Amino acid sequence: MTEWKARRFWKASGVRPSGDGFEVALDDRPLRTPGKLPLLLPTEGLAQAVAAEWDAQADVIDPNTMPLTRAANSAVEKVTPQFAAVAVMLAEYGGTDLLCYRADQPAELARRQAEAWDPLVDWAATDLRAPLRITHGVIPVGQDPQALARLHGHLAELDAFGLTALHDLVTLPGSLILGLAVIRDRIDAETAFRLSRIDEDFQAEHWGRDDEAQAAAESRKAAMLVAERLWHLSRRR
């Protein structure tokens, strides 16, 4: 049996104001989410980027080539109705943040981690007012509840599109501090990805790279770059 695939039915897309934001129209027909909710976007720039993804479709629609559209759908359908729960889930990464768990051996790996991660831990302590404790090896370390509460407060201040962007910037590297550093322009997403892979890259230097693992890593990197783009586009009014 031939698999059914959605096909292009419109000639051109357009962007127009709608309520407090902007919508994308396909031949004057406004886009809706898969759940049939209005896809209201917070900025004209994001609406134009979503429209460009639809314009780029050929005869058969390929959702894999429309990452901003997928992210916008998630912001409207998933994050908006459960914003508080998503914020709590992401805040929990602060309690087990990648940057707080260091190798004790070999010494070269420990040195690389300290050199790369210490500045961001210091930044979290000063700029975010969330000092975090460092541990070595696999022994868990408890974090100051007040520091974790402040980190949660930074997430609660975001809107649904900002929290959607932050989701992949936190969950993919396993670090709330890396994600917050990206959206606060301390580092970019490519740097965050590189900093999250110090251990993996060190192991690859000594034991060689696995093609399948490398492909999965590149997929995570691409998703983080999309998340960073979503963040910036959803801020520019």
Say which CATH number the domain at 13 has: 3.30.2180.10
Q: What is the pLDDT of residue 211?
A: 75
Model confidence at 5, pLDDT cuts 50, 70, 90, reads: low
Residue 76 lies in a domain: no
Kindly list the strands in the beta sheet with 13-18, ordered across the sheet, starting from the edge strand earlier in the chain.
13-18, 21-26, 29-30
**Is residue 57 located within the same domain as residue 91?**
no
Model confidence at 205, pLDDT cuts 50, 70, 90, reads: confident
**Is residue 36 located within the same domain as residue 104?**
no
Q: How many domains is the chain partitioned into structurally?
A: 2
Residue 185 lies in a domain: yes
Asked if residues 144 and 94 have their Cβ atoms less than 8 Å apart, the reply is: no
Could you tell me the residue range of the domain that residue 142 belongs to?
A: 82-235
pLDDT (tens digit, 9 = 90+) per residue, 103-157?
Answer: 998 999 999 999 999 999 999 999 999 999 999 987 889 999 999 999 999 999 9
**Is residue 59 located within the same domain as residue 152?**
no
**Is residue 198 located within the same domain as residue 97?**
yes
Q: What is the mean pLDDT of the chain?
A: 93
Say which CATH number the domain at 230 has: 1.10.3580.10
**Is residue 55 located within the same domain as residue 115?**
no
Omega prior to 106 cis, within 30 of 0? yes
Q: HEC states along 126-180?
A: HCCCCCCCCEECCCCCCCCHHHHHHHHHHHHCCCHHHHHHHHHHHHCCCCHHHHH
**Is residue 1 located within the same domain as residue 109?**
no
- State the residue for tokens 């609406």: 47
**Is residue 94 located within the same domain as residue 211?**
yes
Q: What is the pLDDT of residue 88?
A: 98
Q: What is the DSSP letter of 3?
A: P
Residue 53 lies in a domain: yes
Q: What is the DSSP letter of 61?
A: -
Q: Count CA atoms closer than 13 A to 66's CA, side-chain side.
A: 20
Model confidence at 4, pLDDT cuts 50, 70, 90, reads: very low
Model confidence at 1, pLDDT cuts 50, 70, 90, reads: very low
Q: What is the pLDDT of residue 227?
A: 98
